[in-house]
Amino acid sequence: MLSHLRPALVMLSLFTLLAGLIYPLAITGVAQVLLPSGANGSLVLRANQVVGSELIGQTFLSDRYFWSRPSAAGEKGHDAAGSLGSNLGPLSKKLIDRVEGDVAALRKAGAMSIPVDAVTTSASGLDPHISPGYAALQIGRVAAARSVPEARVRAAVETTIERPALGFLGEPRINVLRLNLALDAASPGGADR
Amino acid sequence: MTFIGWFQILAVLGAVIVCAWPFGLYMTRVFIGERTPLSPLLLPIERMFYIAAGVRLEKEQSWLAYTLAMLTFNASGFLLLFVLLRLQSLLPLNPQGFGGVASDLAFNTAMSFTTNTNWQAYGGETTMSHLVQMAGLAVQNFLSAATGIALAIAVIRAFARNSAQTLGNFWVDVTRGTLYVLLPLSIIVALLFALTGVPQTLAGSVEATTLEGVKQTIALGPVASQEAIKQLGTNGGGFFNANAAHPFENPNAWSNMLSIWSMLLISTALTFTFGRMVGDRRQGNALLVAMYALLITATAVVYWAETSGNPLLAKAGVDMAAGNLEGKEVRFGQALSALYVVATTGLSCGAVNTMHNSLMPLGGLVPLFLIQLGEILPGGVGSGLYGMIVIAILTVFIAGLMVGRTPEYLGKKIEAREMKLAMLALLILPLVILGFAAAAAMLPNALESLANAGPRGLSEILYAYSSAAGNNGSAFAGLSANTPWYNTTLGIAMLLGRFAYVVPVMAIAGAIAAKKKVPASSGTFPTHGPLFVGLLIGVILILGGLQYFPALALGPIVEHFLMHAGKTF
């Protein structure tokens, strides 16, 4: 076994250098030069302020904004420094109770049919998207809170829908942060709550 | 289930097969030592490695020397990683200022990454510095995968050679596996991931102020480079706690497809390498057909179970048309989430884009059972192939018993010694999985870690030990596994599942290599036709069923019926 010790240690050091430092640092260099936006987290700026990442969901509570899916990451949800799913099984009482609560709240706000993404937490707790169905459910509320015609909000939703790549890859979805930014840009007064 | 869903699944699998065929050819050339297109660039580096390490390229090793070299290499890798984890707080590239890792977690993590398991009892973005992620964890992502490839190549050589005493040189194989196979692929895939929007920076995190004026801290890091090797090496250890469900690891449908493609590529390609090296391509194809037939069937079950939705939520007034979305991301959809679940557990990858603990009862049964089948569909890089070869040996043995002839595989007689060793290897997994799970199910301090009550609680324990022993690394997460009991026992399960399995396999390889190749006669059972493939699938399923059905009946199966009876826990 001792005769194997020298190659083991030398190879380990060389590969740590090559695969552990040179490789990631070289990729970092290339990505930072060629793809600076994505490489730094697809951050979204408004008036030179970082308001979030296009890829990372955030919590919206105001009626003026479209709401994200429920999140199990962090106490207040959407903790982007600690991603987490609920990890509740389908028979979990905690899950059923939580969903029943959310359904009751949505019903009170006038919803008829409740799409499943509106009351289930995502795997990462940071899902930036909602389904077109859940967006449609919220149009009335947002339009009323902003005192704008529903048709205008509906048009904003339509233009934000991302279709499956090549027509078949992935799901139609709506980026909540992008939609809310578009609404704020379209109807002034979006900054005050 | 929809037509478009199946179209997505088959498009990804088609892309894998189309690329794996030429890549298998390329790997054959690499390990035979022929010139490849990358040789002009890599040959000087390869030579430099051998000179520095004192390795003589032409000096081959017996099975025992090969195995000892492998064990020494992995033991040193384990120790280095353990030390890095313990001393993290004193080392550079730690922008978030994380402290040293506790000893039980460091043992578990170091064992996890050296055995290609990548079980994570911690959340990446809240525990590990960039230096540990890159120079510690990712290095073992490369080296544990290269170790697996090297071992598979050695086992293939045993069947390809005639009355041979040696199986190749471990140092040469592991160097070539890293330099010619894993590193070039990782560079390409990392850049493709970056193109889809995966971050790659040395910054630790960014502060954002949301539209509602709340502070959001967004963790960042060198994710793309980690993601590439994590998938290609079927490692599966995520940069972030939520693994490939995190939008930074897997931002869209393209990255999701790339993710699945890269985890399946090398294991699939190795079946082509196998066929080439033993001189009969049909032999590799037969294994491939068995693997993919089971893989696609498993995908169908998960896809069906998940799109059927949760009847308990439907009763609560939810429209379940989109299927079960608890623990799933909107952007992937049910079809590619189902394929991900099956690919990551049919392989010993363990990356997840869906939280397995929130899968429907039968949707969760499938990944659990796939791991228990021994990670051979198509299995971890290298380990899947040698695992499948062991099952193939068992299959010809059973076929031999039926007709009363000495079984042969690829022209080598399978005799008592090989069968005893094969059984030794095969029995390690059930012993470790069921033994530890039974103990944990009896211990109050182990039961305190459960996140769900009822049958799902038992499944959490069963999944944890299956995942560890099968070197998978995915979890029914929620189980608080970062306790001394779980860190220690799961670490031991990983160790046994990897090395107590592979040592007898290498002993088989040694015995097989030394045998004379006998020419096929009219009495030889052909191991490339549909009859063999059917028998192989039968042996895989019967073996797995006999070992694990009683345990599964108390977990996901009874849970399925309880769900339809409306019971909650």
Give one word for B413, left, alpha or beta, with left for phi > 0 and alpha for psi -120 to 50.
Answer: beta
CA distance B270 to B512: 20
Residue A192 within a domain: no
Q: Note whether A32 and A47 are same-domain residues.
A: no
Q: Out of A7, A90, A133, name the one closest to residue B55 (CB).
A: A7
Taking contacts as CB-CB distances below 8 angstroms, the residues of chain A near B257 are: 169
Q: Is B11 on the interface with A (CB under 8 A)?
A: yes
Average pLDDT, chain A: 93
Which of B46, B223, B353, B358 should be substituted to probe chain A, the one whose Cβ sees the most A Cβ atoms within 10 Å? B358
CA distance B235 to B227: 10
Report pLDDT for A189. Answer: 56
SS (H, E, C) A68-84: CCCCCCCCCCCCCCCCC
Q: Out of A19, A59, A80, name the one closest to residue B217 (CB).
A: A80
pLDDT tens digit sequence for B160-215: 999 999 999 999 999 999 999 999 999 999 999 999 999 999 999 999 999 999 99
Phi, psi of B2, deg, nearest 5: -125, 160
Which helix (H) or strand (E) segment is B235 a member of? none
Report pLDDT for A88. Answer: 97
Residue A147 within a domain: yes
Domain count, chain B: 1
How close is the nearest chain A Cα to the Cα of B421, in Å? 23
Q: Note whether A111 and A88 are same-domain residues.
A: yes
Q: Is A116 on the interface with B (CB under 8 A)?
A: yes
Spatial CA neighbour of B237 closest among B153, B350, B325: B350
Query: Are B147 and B116 within 8 A, CB to CB?
Result: yes
Q: Note whether A26 and A69 are same-domain residues.
A: no
Q: Is B236 on the interface with A (CB under 8 A)?
A: no
CA distance B360 to B136: 36
Spatial CA neighbour of B515 closest among B62, B61, B161, B157: B161
Q: Out of B212, B316, B358, name the one closest to residue A61 (CB).
A: B212
Q: Is A161 on the interface with B (CB under 8 A)?
A: no
Residue B245 within a domain: yes
From B358, which residue of chain A is nearest by alpha-carbon distance? A89
| Contact yes or no for B216 and A8 at CB 8 A | no
How close is the nearest chain A Cα to the Cα of B192, in Å? 10
Residue B236 within a domain: yes
Residue A32 within a domain: yes
Q: Out of B253, B325, B331, name the one closest to residue A116 (CB).
A: B325
Residue B493 within a domain: no
Residue numbers of the domain that contains B26: 3-279
Q: Which residues of B197-210 are buried (b: 16+ CB within 10 A; e: fewer)?
A: bbbbbeebbbebeb
CB pairs below 8 Å between A and B: how many? 383
Stretches in chain B below the pLDDT threshold 70? none
Q: Is A60 on the interface with B (CB under 8 A)?
A: yes
Q: Out of B76, B247, B357, name the one closest to residue A9 (CB).
A: B76
CA distance A37 to B201: 11
Phi, psi of B413, deg, nearest 5: -70, 130
How close is the nearest chain A Cα to the Cα of B569, in Å? 5
User: What burial class does residue B234 get, using C-beta atoms within 10 Å of its C-beta: 0-12 exposed, 13-18 middle, 19+ buried?
Assistant: buried
Q: Which of residues 114-143 of B touch A (CB under 8 A)?
A: 123, 125-126, 134-136, 138-139, 142-143
Task: Judge whether residue A190 has pLDDT over 60.
Answer: no
Taking contacts as CB-CB distances below 8 angstroms, the residues of chain B near A123 are: 242, 245, 327-329, 352-355, 358
Hunting for tokens 């990782």 — which residue is that?
B186
Q: Note whether A35 and A71 are same-domain residues.
A: no
Report pLDDT for A191. Answer: 44
Q: Out of A9, A31, A80, name the one closest to residue B219 (CB).
A: A80
How close is the nearest chain A Cα to the Cα of B405, in Å? 41
Task: Judge whether residue A193 has pLDDT over 60.
Answer: no
Q: Note whether A74 and A123 are same-domain residues.
A: yes
Residue B290 within a domain: no
Q: Which residues of B138-162 are buried (b: 16+ CB within 10 A; e: fewer)?
A: bbbbbbbbbbbbbbbbbbbbbbbbe
Residue A193 within a domain: no
Taking contacts as CB-CB distances below 8 angstroms, the residues of chain A near B476 are: 87
From A8, which residue of chain B is nearest by alpha-carbon distance? B73
With residues binned 3-state (H G I as helix, E B as strand, rest as coil), the percentages for chain B, rounded to 5, are: 65, 5, 30
Number of Cβ within a 10 Å radius of residue B560: 20
Residue B537 within a domain: no
pLDDT tens digit sequence for B469-507: 999 999 999 899 999 999 999 999 999 999 999 999 999
Q: Note whether A28 and A83 are same-domain residues.
A: no
Q: Note whether A59 and A19 are same-domain residues.
A: no
pLDDT tens digit sequence for A69-127: 999 999 999 999 999 999 999 999 999 999 999 999 999 888 889 999 999 999 999 99
Residue numbers of the domain that contains A9: 1-40
From B132, which residue of chain A is nearest by alpha-carbon distance? A20
CA distance B315 to A96: 10
Q: Note whether A77 and A117 are same-domain residues.
A: yes
Q: Note whether A34 and A60 are same-domain residues.
A: no
Q: Note whether A182 and A97 are same-domain residues.
A: yes
Report pLDDT for A3. Answer: 87
Domain count, chain A: 2
Q: Note whether A176 and A161 are same-domain residues.
A: yes
Residue B34 tokens, joined: 């022929």
Taking contacts as CB-CB distances below 8 angstroms, the residues of chain B near A133 are: 319, 322
Q: Is B204 on the interface with A (CB under 8 A)?
A: no
Q: Note whether A167 and A80 are same-domain residues.
A: yes
pTM of the model: 0.96
Taking contacts as CB-CB distances below 8 angstroms, the residues of chain A near B562 are: 91
pLDDT tens digit sequence for B526-552: 999 999 999 999 999 999 999 999 999
